[in-house]
Chain A
Amino acid sequence: MSLQPISTPDIQTQETKQAKSKSLWIEALFRLLKSKTSVIGLIIITILIITAILAPIIATHDPTTQSIPNRYQAPSGEHWLGTDELGRDIFSRIVYGTQISIRIGLIAVGISMVIGVTLGAIAGYFGRWVDQIIMRIIDIMMAFPSILLAIALVAVLGPSLTNAMIAVGIVGVPQFARIVRSAVLSVKETEFIEAARAIGGKHGRILFRHVLPNSMAPIIVQATLGIGTAILDAAGLSFLGLGAQPPTPEWGAMLSDGRAAIQNAPWVVAFPGVAIFLFVLGFNLFGDGLRDALDPKLKQ
C-alpha cells in the first residue's frame, strides 16, 4: 500500500519531545521511596542481605564449633550475644542463619508463587468448570490450619530443611491462587483484553502478555509479605524438629535448642527470636509500602 500520509492537525501534542517517558513500574518505585515505613523495611532487608553475603567476614566464630567448657556464657566482649548449650557463639550462628532464612524465604515463596500463580491464572481466565475444580481444591487446602498441613507434608516427605521449604511453599499456594484469580477476573473484563482478542491473540498470549502483567501488583505484594510468613512457618517446623537438623544454625532450631535453659540463659532464645522478628518486620513493612505504591487508586 503506497499512500500519502493524511495530514491531520496534531494540536494535542504540545509537550516537548525531550519529556522522559516513564513506565508505570518506574513511577511506582518513586512512590515507594517516598514512604518512610517502606524505606525502613528496605533498609532492614538490605542489611539482612548484606549480612548473608558477608557472613564469613562478619561472624566472629565458626557457627558449628562446640566448646563445652564455654557453654551458656552470657554476652561478653568475646561472645557478643553469648553462647548456647554446646558453647557455640550465638552471634555467629545468627549471622550464618541469615543465609538459611533468606534461602528458605525465597525458595518457599518461589514454590508458592509458581504453583499458585499458575493455578489462579488458569482458574480466573478460563472460568467455568476449570475454575470450580481448581478453587475447590484450594478451598480444601485452606481448610487445614497451615502449620498442621506443613507438619503433615513433612511427615510424609521426612524431616529436613529442603522438605520444610517444600512444605511451607505448598502451604502458601492457596493465598497466591486466590489473589491471582481475583486479579485476573477483574483484568480479563477490560477492553484491552477484548482488543487483544479482536486482533487475533491466542489464549496463551493474552494471558501472559496482557492479563498477568496487569495482575502483577498484588502478586509482588503477596510475595514480599509471604517471605515473612514462610520464615515464621519454617522456624515453627524447625522448632518442632521437622525442619533444619542440627547443627544447622537455623533460627527456629536455635529457639528450640535453647528453650530448656530459658530461665538461666535467656539470651540463647532471645537473640534468635529478635532476628526472626526483625526479618519478618522488614518484609512486612516493605510489603505494605509496595502495596500502597502499586495501587493505582492512590495515585495522585
Chain B
Amino acid sequence: MSALLELKNVKKYFPLKSEKILSREKPMLKAVDGISLAVKPGETLGLVGESGCGKSTAGRVALKLLEPTEGEIWFKGENITNYKGEQLRKLRKEMQIIFQDPYASLNPRKTIEQTLAEPMKIFGMPKEERLKRIDYLLDVVGLSSYHKRRYPHEFSGGQRQRVGIARALSLEPELVICDEPVSALDVSIQAQVINLMEELQDEFNLTYIFIAHDLSVVHHISDRVAVMYLGKIVEIGEAYELYKNPKHPYTQALLSAIPETNASLEKERIILKGDLPSPANPPTGCKFHTRCPFAEEICRIQEPELKPVSEDGQMAACHFVKEVISKELVT
C-alpha cells in the first residue's frame, strides 16, 4: 500500500542570533535534522522522544505549518513541499492538527459554535449544513449541543480538548497530527480522550501521527512507533516489537524508565548520564554517543544510518545493534 504521507530527509533549522557580530556563519538550531518516514493510510504512527527532540516541529513541518529547510514532503502521491497560498489552503481540508494545550488552542473570544463553524465557513459549506454538522460533531466527541453557545473559559481541559478534536474533524480530514493531545490533561481524563480518539479513528477512517513523550500512551494507541533523539529518528518499528525488543540503546533506556506495575518482574533501569545536548550545537557522529553506555570511537566520528534490524521492518540507527543486543543478553 502506498503511503499517505511521506517525509524524505526533512530538515528544519531555525536561525539563531549570532553572538559574534562580524561572523559570517549563522548559528542554526537544528530542530529536525533529516528525518524520513512514511505513514500508511489508516495507521497510527507514534512519535516519541524527550522534550526538545524536534517531534512537534516534525509534525508541524509535515503539515506545512512550518516550511522545511530541506527535504521533501509527499502527501497522497503528490510532492507538496513547495505548495503555497491557495494550493496549500485546499490541502488543509485533508490534514489537520490537534494541539497540546487545550487552553491555548481555542480563541477565547469565540463561542464553541463560532470556533467549529470557522473551518466549514472557510471551505464554503452552506449555513444550514454547517449548523447540523456542528451539533453532530459535538455529539460525536461527547459534548452536548447546548454547549455550543459557551466560551472556552467555561469548559474544563478535557472538554476543551474535545472541542479541539471536533474542530480538527470538521473538515473530514484523512490525516490528523496529534501533538501531545493528552499531556496537558489529568490522567483520568487522558484515558477518556485516548479512547475517544481511537473510536473516532475507526469511524472516520483517520490516519494519526501521534506525538507524545508518554511512552505508555503511545504504546496503547500506536501501530508503529518512531523514536526521535535530537532531531533524528533513532529507531522505528511495529509498536509491539519495538516495546518488547528495543534495539537502539536510547530506546532501551527510554523503555526502562516506564514504571513496572508488576512488582515480581525485576527490571533493570538504564539511567542515562548527562543532559540532552543542545540542538544548536549537536555532537558529531552518532548524536547519542555523549550519553550512550555502549559508545566507542567510531560513534564519535561516523553517524550511523537507519538500517533494518529485524525481518518485520524494524529499523535502528546504531553501529553496534548486534553487540548491544548480545550485551543485553549477557547482563
Question: Which A positions have Cβ atoms within 8 angstroms of B?
Answer: 1, 3, 5-13, 17, 19, 21-24, 190-192, 194-202, 205, 209-210, 213-214
A296 to chain B, nearest CB (A): 8
- A23 vs B167: C-alpha distance when bound (angstroms): 20
Closest to A296 in B: B108
Question: Which B positions have Cβ atoms within 8 angstroms of A?
Answer: 60, 63, 65, 89-90, 92-93, 96-97, 99-101, 104-109, 111, 118-119, 122-123, 136, 139-144, 146-147, 149-151, 153-154, 156, 158-159, 164, 167, 170-172, 189, 192, 195-196, 199-200, 203-204
Contacting pair A13 B89 (CB below 8 A): no
Give which listed residue, A13, A22, A190, A205, contacts B159 with CB less than 8 A. Answer: A13
Closest 8 CB pairs of A and B: A8-B142, A200-B92, A199-B119, A191-B105, A5-B139, A191-B104, A200-B89, A192-B107
- A290 vs B248: C-alpha distance when bound (angstroms): 58
Contacting pair B107 A214 (CB below 8 A): yes
A19 partner residues in chain B, CB cutoff 8 A:
154
Given known A13-B159, A24-B151, contact A200–B144 (CB-CB < 8 A): no
A196 partner residues in chain B, CB cutoff 8 A:
107, 118
Given known A8-B141, A22-B151, A200-B89, contact A194–B156 (CB-CB < 8 A): no
Contacting pair A24 B195 (CB below 8 A): no
A3 partner residues in chain B, CB cutoff 8 A:
140, 203-204
Give which listed residue, B89, B150, B158, B196, contacts A12 with CB less than 8 A. Answer: B158
Contacting pair A5 B140 (CB below 8 A): yes
Given known A12-B189, A200-B92, contact A192–B151 (CB-CB < 8 A): no
A286 to chain B, nearest CB (A): 22
A194 partner residues in chain B, CB cutoff 8 A:
60, 65, 97, 99, 105
Give which listed residue, B96, B122, B143, contacts A10 with CB less than 8 A. Answer: B143
Contacting pair B105 A12 (CB below 8 A): no
24 contacts between A and B (CB under 8 A): A3-B204, A7-B142, A10-B142, A12-B158, A12-B159, A13-B144, A17-B146, A19-B154, A21-B154, A22-B151, A23-B151, A190-B104, A191-B101, A192-B107, A195-B99, A195-B167, A200-B90, A200-B123, A201-B118, A205-B122, A209-B118, A213-B107, A213-B109, A214-B109
